[in-house]
Structure 1
Amino acid sequence: MGDPARRPRFLLVQAFSLPPGSPNQFRAAEGGKEAQLMNHAALAPLLADLDWDLHPGPLAPHGDWPVETREEFAIAGVARLPIVREACAGGGYDAIVLLGGGDPGYMEAREIGRRHRIPVTANAHAQMHLAMTLGNRFSIIDIAETHNARMAELVVQYRMTHGLASIRNIDVPLPRPAHRDRPTLRGEAERHAAGEPSPMLEAAVAAALAALEEDGAEVLLLGCSAAFWLQAPLQQRLAALGWEVPVLEGYRCAIELARVFVRLGLDASGITFPGDPPRHRRRRRLA
């Protein structure tokens, strides 16, 4: 960032977009970037001093429903990489923020960003690392069994097993054909927005208390980005019960971590993400 007076420019990239008319839509698919960005009301203060664009993500190649399974995360991750590659090659952005709680394509996107010296952040990765600056152990409050499996693998991939207290499943999945006849996260979000009691919020409070009292958690994370609306009421409910514990949400953590990297002039290590060809060839590499 040569000109200190220039506002940093970020690109926020959704994990995927669903086709028009999908019965499983769970966020706004039309309108300006503010309307399409979930949690914009809470994010607006963080974005106020940035120039930012929002990419809707690739049209979902796996089907017309949100991702939850390993296969779907892998497909969505591959589909998102050309967007990252084009954004980095264009030279117009100071950072790329990958939205979506399961971080599809994140490590590969960091490799692309490293070639162009552009930091790339993502939700779960940012939450876990910030959690470990706030306490010794964290628990993830997550939405469904299949999504839990993805989060557990990310904990291992990000070398955070020493900090994980638990993954607590509240079992309110995203709208998908497999869950057509049961309550889903979309309906619970709408219920809460209308001021009605939400069983999902009550389940999140119960899971959070169990994580704190039984698992030894000191910080709480939200596993799914679409559960962003739980953050504020969950924080408030825990505080009312005397629990002074941070409740983190992915979008905000990823945006703020990207801001830190830009201000410090940092991007990922060239040893972690070597070039092709690498400038140095070490004789030994440890896992």
Structure 2
Amino acid sequence: MSKKYKFFLVNAFSLPADSPYLHRPVEGPKEVRLMNYDMVKDHLGDVDWDLHHGATATYGDWPVENREEFALAAAARIPIVREACESQKYDAIVLLGGGEPGFFECREIGLKFGIPVTACAYSQMHFATLLGNKFSVIDMAESHNMYYYNLIIQHRFDTRCASIRNINYPLPRPGGDPYRSINKEKEIALNGGNSDMVNTAIAEAVSAIEEDGAEVITFGCSALFWLKPFVRNGLLELGWNVPILEGYSCAIELAKSMVNLDIDASSLMFPPDHPSKWRRKKVF
């Protein structure tokens, strides 16, 4: 039975299979390699989708977290997206990864081929502002917080973002604290145990609501997206009924909406090399 959509999902980067810092599977069928597949599979039910593992990280064998690493990941992902667009096989491109490296550049490429490109931070922020006056971001490390801070400004949501809340569970990398492991905390939580990371995320979400004025909760790094049901349930138990978003489902659903509406980014935002019309002045 044919599906309604044909999407290309591409990870921000990949790591060698023997890396000691793996935070998601890099081998097996696409359903195994797509992080938190069980949480987003309903959003993919009407989608015929391909998954690209992402370009192998050139900076080292650990996940991307700081600005230098994001820049390198962006440069490596751009040609993958161009090749997918040139194939003309897809209705939309979905960039995976909370920090969305290369998003603006990939949107520029996609527009040339009439293919919408969505990404996780951008999509979460847009949906969040449909649902409440202000949103907060639960994120995992100081360097990533400040990278994400710039994304919020770049996407012009600085007046709608209440705060970024740091739970201080960095991605695995050389010199990191082995006792603050996202993978270990995820395993504890999924097995019904008492996870300090989950408890901290819930506590920071409560503080975002009570102290910062957040009415919607989102997540920064995609390594935290699994927290969504735990934070949602934890808040409900405390009496807080607020929307909780994660990037994969938002990016997939935004891509569907753009395909359904037959729209893409403005060519004034991403002008071609030789535009038929040009503006003498750009105002702020």
Give the TM-score normalised by the residue count of structure 2: 0.97
Number of the residue aligned with 1:223: 220
1:128/1:160 contact within 8 Å kept: yes
- Counterparts of 1:1-287 in structure 2, within 5 Å, are 7-287=4-284
How far the C-alpha of 1:279 sits from its partner, in A, is 2.0
- In structure 1, stretches of 5+ residues that fail to align are none
In 2, Cα distance between equivalents of 1:178 and 1:153: 26
2:3/2:46 contact within 8 Å kept: no
Q: CA RMSD in A?
A: 1.1
Residues 39-96 of structure 1: per-residue CA shift (max 9 Å, x gap): 1112111111111000000011111000110110111011000000000011000000
In 2, Cα distance between equivalents of 1:183 and 1:169: 13
In 2, Cα distance between equivalents of 1:53 and 1:84: 12
In 1, Cα distance between equivalents of 2:239 and 2:104: 38
How far the C-alpha of 1:180 sits from its partner, in A, is 4.4
In 2, Cα distance between equivalents of 1:127 and 1:181: 30
Letter of the structure 1 residue corresponding to residue 66 of structure 2: T
SS at the partner of 2:198? helix
SS at the partner of 1:176? coil
SS at the partner of 1:179? coil
SS at the partner of 1:177? coil
SS at the partner of 1:178? coil
How far the C-alpha of 1:6 sits from its partner, in A, is 6.2
How far the C-alpha of 1:24 sits from its partner, in A, is 0.2
Letter of the structure 1 residue corresponding to residue 180 of structure 2: P
| Number of positions where the alignment pairs a residue of Structure 1 with one of Structure 2 | 283
Residues 94-113 of structure 1: per-residue CA shift (max 9 Å, x gap): 00000000010101100000
1:175/1:186 contact within 8 Å kept: no
Letter of the structure 2 residue corresponding to residue 262 of structure 1: V
SS at the partner of 1:247? coil
Letter of the structure 2 residue corresponding to residue 56 of structure 1: H
Residues 174-229 of structure 1: per-residue CA shift (max 9 Å, x gap): 11113144412122112212222110000001100110000000101011111121
Identity of aligned residues (%): 53
SS at the partner of 2:260? helix
